[in-house]
Structure 1
Amino acid sequence: MKKAPSSHLRESWVLFFTLGVVMINFPFIHIFNKDILIFGIPLLVLYFLAGWPLSILVVYIFARILDKTEKDE
């Protein structure tokens, strides 16, 4: 039996949640916690300042796509 597109999108939320949790845990934080400045801003701060809006953008895009597929059904 073929799954509906909306159920496939709902399952992808688990993947993105897991990816988000991994990205804010020790290995990645340790990678970006260096004494490097980019435009006078520490690398770790830039990592968080780029990662946070990116995760919000992913949530927004998926919410819009999920809303469209539910309206079509």
Structure 2
Amino acid sequence: MNTAAPAEEWLTAAQVAAHFQVNPRTVYRWAAADPKMRVKRLGPDGRTLRIHASELERGGNGQGTPTA
């Protein structure tokens, strides 16, 4: 049984940034500031992020509304 989430459930920082109309660096700051944010860190250095699509409903910074 495959328990991995479908690829479309995990978005790039650029996709999330485009949704909220912010710079992708802002998405990285949100991920660093919010330990409850559902993210996957990829690559040998862990700098590449994938953000779960459910975070779009939370509002980016976990407070309900995105802030830049």
Look at both structures and tell me which one has the larger radius of gyration over its CA atoms.
Answer: 1
TM-score by length of 1: 0.27
- Between Structure 1 and Structure 2, the one with more helix by share is 1
TM-score by length of 2: 0.28
